[in-house]
Amino acid sequence: MLNPSEQRTFHRMPIRAGGTLRRADEEREQAVTVVDLSAVGVLMECDEPIPPGTRAELILP
């Protein structure tokens, strides 16, 4: 059983969707695959690492 402090506040919804990531400090776009979503976050896969704290816009079709 999970410790109550380890439970998430927001439920994650598994999906598999293609999207585009546009970093604030760059003009180019990067293809990503969104793996899951929650009310306050997203888990995505991409070919290049994204450093923590990077500001970006996620575009979903």
Over the stretch 11-50, which tens digit does the pLDDT of each residue have?
899 999 999 999 998 888 999 999 999 988 899 999 999 8
Sheet strands (E) in the chain: 13-23, 29-38, 41-45, 56-59
Place of tokens 């003009």: 27
The residue that leads in pLDDT, 61 or 1, is 61
Q: Supply the pTM of this predicted model.
A: 0.74
Tokens of 18: 């293609």
Tokens of 12: 């994650």
Residue 3 has pLDDT above 80, yes or no: no
The residue that leads in pLDDT, 8 or 58, is 58
CA 58 – CA 7 distance, rounded (Å): 26
Tokens of 3: 């410790």
CA 40 – CA 52 distance, rounded (Å): 16
Place of tokens 């410790």: 3
